[in-house]
Structure 1
Amino acid sequence: MANATIEIGGFRLDAAAGTLSREGAVVPVRAKTFAFLTYLARHHGRVVPRDELLEALWPGLHVTEDSLTQCMSELRRLMGPEAQPMLRTVPKRGYLLAPDPVAPAGAGQVFPAVAVLPFADAGSGEADRALIDGMVEEITYGLARFRSIVVIARASAFAFPPGDRPSPGEVGARLGAEFLVEGSVSRADGRFRVTVTLLHAPTGRRIWGDRFDIAEQDLFAMNVEIAISIISRLVSNIDQAVLRNPAPAANLAAFENFVRGLAFLRGYGEGINARARDHFRRAIEIDPDCALAHAYLGLSEVIIADYGCAPRAVLEAARERIALAIALEPEEARCHRLLGLVQLYLREHEAAERALRHSLQLNPYDADTLCQLGFVVAMRGRAEEGLAWMDKAVALNPFRPYWYDSDRAEALYMLERYDEAIPILLAAPRQELFLEIWLAAALAMVDDLPRAAEVFGRFRRDMPEADIDRRCRDWTEFEHGRDAERFIEGVRRAERAWLRRPG
């Protein structure tokens, strides 16, 4: 172990002192179980084969694998659910310890930052654009599972489309990435031809390149192979088993419908969320075990029904569907993230935070998860901590979607930093009622009553009969009444200014 201590789900393992502790109190643990945990910690991030563990812990003795199973069972029972994502059994291979990736002991190590840019369509036709983007996203997501590199979020990387891209140095500087992945895809006669290049951004130097010519049914294996090839050029001693997850769908048609649904869900326009829902349903018809399609179908139903204002029956049905997705793919971080969102809309705050933290353990560099965890933490009354999580998200996703900023504005309002929240809300790309009401409240709290009245008036024109207090509570997910009252106070001030306006 590079450090004498390591954090594991709220526990501190001190190998030098021979102790496992929590909140300063030493936790009793059997000597052989402690040795088992210490050995995994010394090799954290690597799948340790069973034979290696048996030889290290019982040298020269004939001991069955049941002894290892007993050690793992004791640790899981002792350390509880917080440690479950980090203590993993890898079927037919061995055991893996993946300690807390967000705040490791001895933090400060600098990891290489990588951005996977959108691949060019080399003649396969515009109909394949969503599929190509989906392939790139899966490569990006596979890379993000490693703890030894930082992966720039898809939304930012996709701000640099092929054919209209600045120099590697400029792209890297704007994204904060030291390395760039570029590529092209063509599709013909049931086969894909994919060309991939890894570049050192500051110099534009080509580090690695390869061409993959594969059949459609091998698409997902190719995604894994590309990610492993990139990782092996950047980081030594990385265990490739981290990437050996089930494919996002059993066949290409299901995957194609899933990624098209995702593209619609990320867009804006009349009926676009319903079109996303239709694609997710079609993906499930083709592949009933497509976990991500189930999870995003649940989310699309919630979005169509107006997020946290959705009827409770819709939210509960979405929660059940996402729970099914997790049962299908327990290690798929995105399913846990979407569960956390729906639990927040149900005002199940503790469960929402737990689900998002679990998602982050599974994929530590998912910027969306970092931002949404920050928002949940803020809604629980810990806005300062929430902003810190959001800062981490922005660092990974500098060309972020606006919802990152609107979440931040709400946290700033909770801290009474209204002057910082106002410009964020004014920069909203679209006039949405819930953002308008936040803007009106923030303006009123800094006594800019003329503008507060004007903005509130736009809300009133669109919802003349709305019960203001009830609507404000429906639109927010505060855990504590004091936070809701601070928001409603601003809205009431804006309403009074509107009622007193001349004429």
Structure 2
Amino acid sequence: MEIATLDQVFHFGGYTLDLGKGTLRHADGPAFLRPKAYAVLTLLARHMGRVVPKSEIMDAVWPGVFVTEDSLTQSVREIRKVLGDDLVRTVSKRGYMLAAEVEPAPEIGSQPIVAVLRFRNEGGNPADDPIVDGFAEDIINGLARFGTVTVLARNSSFSFASFARSEWPQIRSRIGADYLVEGSVRRHGDQILAAVNLVDAANASQLWGDRYQAADSGFSAIQQDIVEEIVGRLARRVTNAGLQQASRKPVTSLAAYELVLRGVALVRDPAQTDIEGARAFFEAAVAKDPAYGLAHIYVGLTCALKGEFEESSHADLVKAREHVARGLALSPDQATGHRIQSLVRLYMREHDAAEHHLRTALELNPCDADCIEQMGLVLTMRGRPFEALGWLARSIRIDPMIPHWYQFDRSMALYMMGDYKPAAEALELATRPTPWIRTRLAACYAQLGAMDEARRQAALINEGDPDFSPIDYATKAMPFESPADAAHLADGIRLALGEQAGQSTTTTI
């Protein structure tokens, strides 16, 4: 009889028993029971307020196995040790009863829970144990900085080593994790090999895995880079898995966290054809949970995305700044909020504030690939493209499944460096040739002297938007701090349009 996989939630005595997740939680955190004690509590919860005969419990929990009543007594004793003596009552000569009224389960939209298990020391040398444990603990600390997952502390997750696949569901029932990170470290000669896997604890399936290798002498120097890459990929995988789960539910049943996930999916769509739909999800999340800071932050983002930032009005940007500020007041440690506020302030031409917010975001979460990438954009707009390219390369290494805007920002840094060919190649990867992408491509090809291609791109600029002005885009829409950088882009555009480069233009930078 499967008794720990039903999608039911029970609340009693300050505890929440979630049979779908296989968890028992208190306000202070997860509570742990051994599998048989958990199974007994599950049966009592499903018959809350009713006396369950001992024979019925034993048939359900130990089917086909001969055990004495001592096994049941021991399980009840363990449950009482966790819940207290008052909730589980013994009814003489009859059985046991969970003495609590059934409380209706509220709609739950909690963040995914991740446990980083203690890594295996494959080399077998006890002297390497501190390196192995430290590696796993760095992953815990890095992953904990992301606002979209809840990470169990070392004391909970390290109570297990990285067990075999058959034992993963048992780990889930004990520590309440939706996802497990398990792996191993081996020292082989002067090399250290690390293997990491991300596991869906509900069905014991592996979602992702990778291997890393470093020279022993240089391991400590590059360990942060390895952890950074792992954490960046894990965060993306966990978020995507949560979105897949949310997408299977009707909108009316979604809680705030899942509504935000759906909105983020629309924002990240390369086509970005439904920003209003994304905003509706975020506003619904705010309505469901007015104290949810991240939802307010994303409402602000959609205000600014109305015109892809470059074309956003000052009023839209002010509105965006206010929404993000409200979200940060509720969640001041939310790196995503500081990153989005940085973007808003950048397009308001408040360059110092933009860099300040982004550096705050990176202090909160130095492994966030989006924050690292955006630093490349901010530095490019501030006239430091060489430094920007280092940040952009780092973000692409952390998140090789790069979002489309990474390449767009990289192309602008390359253009400012005078590397027009790789800048054009980056833009050619675009899946949606918008007027501003056509404008940048035309400028790149003109600067290369490839005038046929430059003119071809220039001729296509106004197909999607007859009112789009390429020169205004360079001199007014792009948030360059220096007028000279705006003029550099405008010169390439003028060449493509057959105009004389270097003409004076009044800008609003």
Question: TM-score normalized by structure 2?
Answer: 0.52
Contact 2:381 2:479 in 1 (8 A): yes
Q: Does 1:196 align with 2:180?
A: yes
CA distance in 2, matches of 1:349, 1:204: 41
CA distance in 1, matches of 2:319, 2:181: 44
Unmatched tracts of structure 2, length 5 or more: 1-108, 117-134, 147-161, 170-175, 187-192, 204-225, 228-252, 501-509
Tell me: CA distance 1:204–1:469, structure 2 relative to 1, closer, same or farther (3 Å): closer
2:418 alignment partner, SS class: coil
Tell me: CA distance 1:153–1:460, structure 2 relative to 1, closer, same or farther (3 Å): farther
Tell me: CA distance 1:138–1:339, structure 2 relative to 1, closer, same or farther (3 Å): farther
CA distance in 1, matches of 2:477, 2:490: 11
2:358 matched to which residue of 1? 356
Q: Report the alpha carbon displacement of residue 465 of structure 1 after superposing the two structures with TM.
A: 4.5
Tell me: CA distance 1:386–1:211, structure 2 relative to 1, closer, same or farther (3 Å): closer
CA distance in 2, matches of 1:422, 1:254: 41
Contact 1:151 1:396 in 2 (8 A): no
CA distance in 2, matches of 1:394, 1:260: 24
Q: Report the alpha carbon displacement of residue 462 of structure 1 after superposing the two structures with TM.
A: 3.6
Tell me: CA distance 1:302–1:386, structure 2 relative to 1, closer, same or farther (3 Å): same
Of 94, 97, 112, the match for 1:135: 112
1:454 matched to which residue of 2? 456
Q: Does 1:293 align with 2:295?
A: yes
CA distance in 2, matches of 1:494, 1:404: 25
Q: Which has the larger radius of gyration?
A: 2
Calculate percent identity across the aligned residue pairs: 31
Tell me: CA distance 1:370–1:269, structure 2 relative to 1, closer, same or farther (3 Å): closer
Tell me: CA distance 1:335–1:448, structure 2 relative to 1, closer, same or farther (3 Å): same
CA distance in 1, matches of 2:115, 2:315: 32
2:182 alignment partner, SS class: strand
Contact 1:308 1:346 in 2 (8 A): no
Alignment deviations for residues 252-286 of structure 1 (CA, whole Å, 9 cap, x no partner): 71112111111222124575211110010011011
Tell me: CA distance 1:208–1:273, structure 2 relative to 1, closer, same or farther (3 Å): closer
Q: Report the alpha carbon displacement of residue 427 of structure 1 after superposing the two structures with TM.
A: 1.8
Tell me: CA distance 1:136–1:399, structure 2 relative to 1, closer, same or farther (3 Å): farther
Q: Report the alpha carbon displacement of residue 305 of structure 1 after superposing the two structures with TM.
A: 3.3
1:282 matched to which residue of 2? 284
Contact 2:113 2:179 in 1 (8 A): no
1:107 matched to which residue of 2? none
2:407 matched to which residue of 1? 405
Amino acid at match of 1:371: E
Q: Does 1:471 align with 2:473?
A: yes
Tell me: CA distance 1:305–1:145, structure 2 relative to 1, closer, same or farther (3 Å): farther
CA distance in 1, matches of 2:469, 2:195: 61
1:479 alignment partner, SS class: coil
2:435 matched to which residue of 1? 433
Q: RMSD between aligned alpha carbons?
A: 4.2
Amino acid at match of 1:274: E
Q: Report the alpha carbon displacement of residue 291 of structure 1 after superposing the two structures with TM.
A: 0.4
Q: Report the alpha carbon displacement of residue 467 of structure 1 after superposing the two structures with TM.
A: 3.8
Contact 1:144 1:363 in 2 (8 A): no
Contact 1:145 1:362 in 2 (8 A): no
2:445 matched to which residue of 1? 443
CA distance in 2, matches of 1:351, 1:193: 39
Contact 1:336 1:356 in 2 (8 A): yes
Tell me: CA distance 1:413–1:281, structure 2 relative to 1, closer, same or farther (3 Å): same
Tell me: CA distance 1:193–1:415, structure 2 relative to 1, closer, same or farther (3 Å): closer
CA distance in 2, matches of 1:448, 1:153: 46
2:488 matched to which residue of 1? 486
Q: Does 1:323 align with 2:325?
A: yes
CA distance in 2, matches of 1:421, 1:262: 28
2:383 matched to which residue of 1? 381
Contact 1:371 1:393 in 2 (8 A): yes
Which moved further from structure 2: 194-203 or 288-297? 194-203
Amino acid at match of 2:378: V
Runs of 4+ deviating beyond 6 Å: 136-139, 147-154, 182-185, 201-210
CA distance in 1, matches of 2:337, 2:301: 10
Tell me: CA distance 1:138–1:497, structure 2 relative to 1, closer, same or farther (3 Å): farther
